[in-house]
Amino acid sequence: MGSHPETGLDLPRLRALLHQAPDHYEILDRRFVGRLAGFLFWCAGLIAAALLAFDPPTSALGGLGWVPAAITVGLAFVFGGAMVVTQRTLGTGMLMAIALSGPLMLGMLQWLAGSASSYDQLVILSVVWCGVVLPARRLLLLLLADTVVVFLPAAYGDWSAGLLPERIATLAIAWALALLCFVWSGHIRNIRRTLDAERAAADELARVDALTGLGNRRALDEALVGQVALSHRTGRPIAALVGDLDGFKFINDVHGHHTGDRLLRDVAAVLRQVVRSPDACFRWGGDEFVVLLGEADMAEAHEVADRIARAIRVRCATPDGTPVTMTLGAAAHAEGTIGAELLADADADLLVAKSGSRAA
């Protein structure tokens, strides 16, 4: 089954959904991860506040260090609270800013308290969140920032060889956790992405008539709603054709249902070729077909109906060579009416044509 632009269905595009390049943030619940970040900020703030009693921020600035330390811990609670209560969807830039703010705040506390302090170990809280949320390049940037924080005392001379094993262990745990969370979240993303794509493809296929490849009754109902709404907004005319095959039951009875099915597929192929590219074709049920004509009045609708009838008579035939014919009814959308009324009017015109009482 190929692409059917006249029905609004593009099956190759549906298959491509399963193989498209993934967007790392595509299925991320940004409000949820924002609240999760807020919770982690609170945890880090509580732990840092407790550590102040054991690792006071007096190494770099003396007693004055309590001021920036209190501000830093207070900001952790403020940021955490803001992210928990916010209803805004976080952008990718804000997610990265949240990720980098953790190492910056920890680096500040470690500098104030000195190289022997334990604040650097809080980076583990940061990498768990970042491993779940960030794409690979941004996660690498965050891990490099954490590495700088852990070894920051060496930059300002506050370093001893005894710190090296502890800091290497902290970094190894942080990098391992980040990698584990990244791989796990990537696996979950792939499962979710595949399920979403398959659901979207199944939803589209549910609008396709399996025998003819045209839109089915569900697709017709949805298209009618859209076309009528567009006509109401723009004032542009729309029309509908309803047609069925003449003597189709007799063809089934004489030649069998297999022949009847082949004939329906042939008619569908003719409709695709004959109607205008913006128009949409549907199998309404049985041997009944509907064509929605955008920006068409009654005169244009009758012109398209005649073109369809001629093409089917020429191109479709029973196994014994008898030409197949289709009778069509037409109707134009009247202002203030709904799509069902448009179809009902076209169907009524079809009945008039079938009875032979319609004026030529």
Residues with catalytic annotation? Answer: 287
Q: Give the separation between CA 216 and CA 232, rounded to whole angstroms.
A: 24
**Nearest Cα to 249, choosing from 239, 259, 241, 240?**
259
Helix/strand/coil for 338 = coil
Q: Which helix (H) or strand (E) holds 6?
A: none
**Nearest Cα to 251, choosing from 240, 239, 260, 241?**
260
* Phi, psi at 282, each rounded to 5°: -140, 150
* Phi, psi at 323, each rounded to 5°: -60, 145
Residue 146's contacts (CB-CB under 8 Å, 6 or more residues apart) are 103, 123, 126, 127, 171, 174
The structure tokens 């298209």 sit at 223
Is residue 6 within 8 Å of 272, Cβ to Cβ?
Answer: yes
